[in-house]
């Protein structure tokens, strides 16, 4: 499913859940759609973070060690 239509469906189900409630089938669909969306979001966010370098006013690389290690692990794969 395309991201835009997926988000629209997630929102439709959320609105329906608040107004009239969801069937068991719709609850399952909602859970699956939310899971897929979060997986994509986390992946994109992680990719974005791995593209960052933190530099102080003097031009020194002050990227947190945890992020540097994560970048190295990712580039090994």
Rounded to whole angstroms, how far apart are CA atoms 22 and 42?
27
Tokens matching residue 42: 């986390």
| Cβ pair 47, 70 in contact under 8 A | no
Cα–chain center distance at 2: 15
Kindly tell me if the per-residue pLDDT of 59 is higher than 70: yes
Nearest CA-CA partner of 12 in 2, 3, 22:
22
Q: What is the mean pLDDT of the chain?
A: 92
What pLDDT was estimated at residue 73? 86
Rounded to whole angstroms, how far apart are CA atoms 49 and 53?
9
């Amino acid at each position: 499913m395309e991201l835009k239509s997926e988000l629209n469906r997630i929102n439709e189900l959320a609105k329906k859940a608040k107004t009239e409630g969801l069937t068991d089938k719709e609850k399952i669909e909602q859970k699956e759609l939310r899971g897929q969306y979060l997986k994509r979001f986390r992946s994109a966010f992680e990719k974005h973070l791995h593209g960052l370098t933190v530099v102080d006013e003097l031009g020194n690389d002050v990227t947190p060690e945890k992020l540097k290690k994560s970048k190295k692990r990712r580039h090994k794969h």
